[in-house]
Structure 1
């Protein structure tokens, strides 16, 4: 049987070699090269975090959701930002799938 750490390093390598990761890295480079895009993305991520925080605390966040949706529409018009957001979503989905696979495998040991 393979050492757990070896498997973890193999998984990390597979993720770094995935199309989702490569696409995200390339999209991030384009964002980093444009200070205006970088600032807009930073603002979007901050608003996303504020919305998620309110949701987790059980607070009503309807206004924040509307702002996020409107900002997303604006960002989607910009090709570089749109590609970045799509790449970010694809990569997040990949990572969430990895967590699910690991979680499902460990289901019998939950306390």
Structure 2
């Protein structure tokens, strides 16, 4: 168990030292310093969270709410820093997904892959 945790710590450090993480960290800091960008992103994330909570509770999202979310998304995508941040988040998400796939391969040998 300790050996696995040591490897996980190594992976954590490698991730924190990666260019992708450093780029995300830098963009996040820049947005924190930009009052307008921070407010736009906070509002967008709050709306996303509210809609996700509704979905998890089985509440139907209205057409108006869906349109509002789409408009907010288009608005934040037009902001250069936020757009770059979202792109960096997506890149890091893909990396983490790939890592997860790699480390769960032994389980797939026992149980099969989720696609099966």
Same fold (TM over 0.5): yes
Q: Does the aligned pair in 2 maintain the 1:27–1:83 contact within 8 Å?
A: yes
Q: Does the aligned pair in 2 maintain the 1:47–1:64 contact within 8 Å?
A: no
The runs of 4+ residues in structure 1 deviating greater than 4 Å are none
The structure with more radius of gyration: 2
Between the aligned partners of 2:32 and 2:21, the Cα distance in structure 1 is 16
Between the aligned partners of 1:64 and 1:96, the Cα distance in structure 2 is 29
> In structure 1, what is the equivalent of residue 114 of structure 2?
none
Between the aligned partners of 1:43 and 1:22, the Cα distance in structure 2 is 25
> In structure 2, what is the equivalent of residue 97 of structure 1?
98
Can you give the 5+ residue segments of structure 1 that lack an aligned partner in the other structure?
A: none
Matches within 5 A, 1:26-105: 26-61=26-61, 62-105=63-106
Q: CA deviation at 1:64?
A: 2.8
Residues 14-64 of structure 1, C-alpha deviations (whole Å, 9 max, x = no match)? 211223211110110110111111111111111111111112222212433
Structure 2 length as normaliser, TM-score? Answer: 0.78
Q: CA deviation at 1:75?
A: 1.1
Cα root mean square deviation, aligned:
2.1
Can you give the 5+ residue segments of structure 2 that lack an aligned partner in the other structure?
A: 112-116
